[in-house]
Amino acid sequence: MLIMWSYVYVVITATLWSLNPAIIQKFGKNLKPMTITVFRAFAALALLIPLAFVNGIHSNFNLYAISVAVASGIIGPGIGDTVYTRSIQLIGGSLAAIISYTYIFVAQILAFLILRESIEISIVVGGILAFLGIVVALYDRDRGFSKTDLAGVLYTVITAITWGIAATLIKLATVYLDPLTLAIIRLSSMSIALSIFMLIFEKPRIRREVKNIALISITTGILSWGVGLYLFHYSIALVGVSRTVIAIALTPILSQAIVKLVTKERIGVRNIIGAILVAIGILISSIPSLVYRTT
């Protein structure tokens, strides 16, 4: 039953994360990437820290666990989400998502090499189908390509690598830390490190963008990281890195659907086919785990 719920949690996470590109693209045009990332983290911590006091901390603290948690926070939401934000600003949410979500394969390879997670045929097929669904739904063949896009593509490649590394480190940390504590450590360490660089290099003019910062912080901070990150950690702890990242492939599909609904555009056939491919990929990758747990 816990395994079933873990997939429910991942779907919830994917839904919350799908809000990010549209919100950032619309309200973060005049904000710098590190500024957006830092305030997202502050908003998430405003929710998670009080919850930790209420729920209690159930972790085995040691230098190794804390170091891994800190590293995953700086690498994943710190570097990864900052460059992902910049890539969205440069090349748009759709193309940024397609390339960034190759992190599915980066995470699977690292999970196999470092965590010794088994790479079953079902996981490989599920991952390929999920990524193919993203490409089918989001690829725009009529889109032009400029020199500015090269920088955006480079940022998405960095995103894929950092997200893959961070997902692997999360699994190592969950051996000692509960998901809530892990989320707090990751976001706290990332926000402290990134705040220094933000103040030095970006010198944000917060007064001019108070409304936009508040809106981005509430939606992509409290909801996406405050709730979504906790559920993401919980799922990795239960079913591993490979299966969790496949399920997260729903994120860019849902994101595009939300954008089209907001702009009152019609959801096309390719969007539907892409969503179906991702769903099939998730199902294929999850069945062996469910069978194993129930026999």
Q: Model confidence over 268-287: pLDDT tens digits?
A: 788 788 888 888 888 888 76
Residue 236: partners with Cβ closer than 8 Å, 6 or more residues away = 167, 170, 171, 174, 244
| Residue whose pair of structure tokens reads 């032009």 in the numeric block | 144
The boundaries of the domain holding residue 158 are 2-294
CA separation, residue 146 to residues 149, 150, 151, 159 (Å): 5, 7, 10, 20
Any alpha helices (H) in 56-146, and if so which ranges?
63-73, 81-91, 93-100, 103-114, 121-138
Residue 210: partners with Cβ closer than 8 Å, 6 or more residues away = none
Total domains present in the chain: 1
Q: Are 47 and 232 in contact (CB under 8 A)?
A: no
**124-162: per-residue pLDDT in tens?**
888 899 999 888 887 776 655 566 678 888 999 999 999
Give the pLDDT of residue 142.
62
Euclidean distance between CA atoms 85 and 104, whole angstroms: 18
**10-60: per-residue pLDDT in tens?**
889 999 988 888 788 788 888 888 999 999 999 999 999 999 989 888 888
**98-124: per-residue pLDDT in tens?**
888 889 999 999 999 999 888 788 888
Give the pLDDT of residue 228.
94
**80-103: per-residue pLDDT in tens?**
999 998 888 888 777 788 888 889
Residue 278 sits at φ, ψ, to 5 deg, of -65, -45
Q: Are 145 and 112 in contact (CB under 8 A)?
A: no
Counting residues of the chain whose pLDDT is more than 70, the rounded percentage is: 91
Mean pLDDT of all residues in 197-216 = 84
